[in-house]
């Protein structure tokens, strides 16, 4: 027998996915989907969720004003892994439980990260632009093989990425607020402080959550520590990098190239940055492969029933 608890799905991609819709409706009989494809926020989000006991949310901001307006709400289940849009303290105050599963999109993000590395090293963005404009110029790129890669944040994605890099014979450096000695030993990873990683790595890739401790973790001072021929990859969260400082570094030749899937404001407003030939960007698609969407959606469905109050340790960072 189906559960008749009132449910709302805010996510547009979940709502238009036939398999996820069918699997959710097989469990619940009273489900509201975002069939109009609305970007829900503020009063529109509150009105959409009014009267519901459980929500599946994606990138919508869940804060005190939202929760205060919805006394019937009991559970928020996360479609995706990032939690920086959730005011967990407010959820605790209101007794709202959280359904969350870490790492469900890790392989998709890992593959996009690798594609950024290889594309930038082999000058794919520049040469693609040149040939489209009628210039045929043979350029000398670089191989990923043997390059030193620094991973900032060795959680689910950092751990998934590491064996691929080792297959390319890349020395791997890692910096994380937690220590993973068994994993590091098994994969020949060297744990280092942040400054050492930035100075030594040929490629720096970010895989940390966004919070007060990581906001602008890569600022002008830290960009200056990196090698002039280094690459910076961000497939984690917008806001981790000072984008104005990054643009200056790329323009001045103090950094070779960068690849970003995420921005502090999305869509990005800094058109001079995204117009640079040594800057490769995508529209927050790291976790949007078909396989990742299914994994995230099924985890969100489970989270409607398998959940708990957020704490300082749940969900864990990284």
Q: pLDDT of 196-222, one tens digit each?
A: 999 999 999 999 998 889 999 999 999
156 is catalytic: no
Q: Is residue 112 a part of any domain in this protein?
A: yes
**Contact (CB, 8 A) for 154 and 162:** yes
**317 inside domain:** no
193/52 Cα distance (integer angstroms):
46
> Does residue 157 sit in the same domain as residue 269?
yes
Task: Assess whether 96 and 154 both reside in one domain.
Answer: no
Instruction: Measure the CA–CA gap between 139 and 162, rounded to whole angstroms.
Output: 29
SS3 category, 146: coil
Do both 162 and 259 map to the same domain?
A: yes
Active-site residue, 266 included: yes
Q: Is residue 187 part of a domain?
A: yes
Which CATH number goes with the domain that contains 29? 3.40.50.720
Out of 64, 195, 221, 266, pick the active-site residue. 266
pLDDT at 126: 92
Indicate whether 90 and 111 sit together in one domain.
no
Asked if 140 and 256 sit in the same domain, the reply is: yes
Q: Are residues 95 and 132 in the same domain?
A: no
- 296 — pLDDT class (breaks 50, 70, 90): very high
Position 220 in a domain: yes
pLDDT at 275 over 90: yes
Q: Which residues contact 275 (CB under 8 A, 6 or more apart)?
A: none
- Check whether the bond before 267 is cis (ω within 30° of 0): yes
**Cα–Cα distances in Å, from 118 out to 108, 122, 135, 155?**
16, 6, 22, 22
67 falls in which pLDDT band (50, 70, 90)? very high
Residue 138 lies in a domain: yes
Identify the residue whose tokens are 């082999």.
Answer: 122
119 and 254 both lie in a single domain: yes
Name the domain count of the chain.
2
pLDDT given at position 313: 66
Average pLDDT over residues 142-170: 97
The pLDDT score that the predictor gives to residue 316 is 62
Task: Determine the average pLDDT of the residues in 302-309.
Answer: 95
Question: Please, which pLDDT band fits residue 102 given cuts at 50, 70 and 90?
Answer: confident
Q: Both 126 and 268 in a single domain?
A: yes
Catalytic residue among 50, 284, 298, 302: 284
| 250 in a structural domain | yes
Co-location of 77 and 196 in the same domain: no
Neighbours of 10 (CB within 10 A): 25
Question: Can you read off the two tokens belonging to residue 281?
Answer: 């960007």
User: Is the same domain home to 216 and 123?
Assistant: yes
- State the average pLDDT over residues 84-99: 93
Range of the domain at 152: 106-281
Answer yes or no: is 312 within a domain: no
Same domain, 165 and 193: yes
Q: Is 225 helix (H, G, I), strand (E, B) or coil?
A: coil
pLDDT of residue 318: 45
Kindly state the average pLDDT of the residues 40-64.
94
Q: What is the mean pLDDT of the chain?
A: 94
- Mean pLDDT across the stretch 17-44? 93
| pLDDT per residue as tens digits for the range 133-147 | 999 999 999 999 999
Residues 110, 65 share a domain: no
Closest CA to 218 of 153, 132, 172: 153
Percent of the chain with pLDDT over 70: 98
Q: Which of 12, 17, 200, 237 is catalytic?
A: 237
Categorize the per-residue pLDDT at 182 as very low, low, confident or very high, splitting at 50, 70 and 90. Answer: very high
């Amino acid at each position: 027998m189906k559960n008749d608890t009132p449910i709302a799905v805010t996510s547009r991609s979940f709502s238009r996915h036939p398999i996820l819709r069918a699997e959710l409706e097989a469990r619940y009989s009273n489900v509201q989907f975002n069939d109009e494809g609305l970007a829900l926020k503020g009063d529109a989000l509150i009105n959409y969720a009014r009267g519901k006991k459980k929500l599946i949310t994606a990138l919508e901001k869940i804060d005190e004003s939202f929760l205060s307006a919805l006394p019937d709400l009991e559970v928020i289940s996360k479609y995706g892994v990032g939690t920086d849009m959730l005011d967990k303290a407010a959820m605790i105050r209101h007794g709202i439980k959280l359904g969350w599963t870490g790492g469900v999109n890790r392989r998709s993000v890992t593959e996009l990260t690798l594609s950024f590395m290889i594309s930038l090293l082999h000058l794919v963005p520049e040469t693609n632009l040149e040939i489209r404009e009628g210039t045929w110029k043979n350029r000398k790129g670089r191989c990923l093989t043997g390059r030193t890669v620094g991973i900032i944040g060795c959680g689910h994605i950092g751990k998934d990425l590491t064996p691929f890099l080792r297959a390319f014979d890349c020395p791997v450096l890692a910096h994380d607020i937690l220590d993973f000695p068994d994993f590091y030993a098994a994969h020949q990873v060297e744990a280092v402080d942040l400054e050492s990683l930035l100075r030594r790595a040929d490629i720096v890739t970010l895989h940390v959550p966004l919070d007060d401790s990581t906001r602008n973790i890569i600022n002008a001072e830290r960009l200056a520590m990196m090698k002039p021929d280094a690459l910076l990859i961000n497939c984690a969260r917008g806001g981790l990098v000072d984008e104005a400082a990054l643009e200056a570094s790329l323009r001045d030749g103090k950094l070779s190239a960068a690849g970003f899937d995420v921005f502090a404001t999305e869509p990005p407003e800094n058109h001079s940055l995204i117009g640079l030939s040594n800057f490769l960007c995508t529209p927050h698609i790291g976790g949007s492969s078909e396989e990742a969407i299914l994994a995230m959606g099924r985890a969100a469905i489970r989270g409607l029933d398998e959940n708990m109050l957020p704490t300082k340790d749940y969900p864990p960072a990284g």
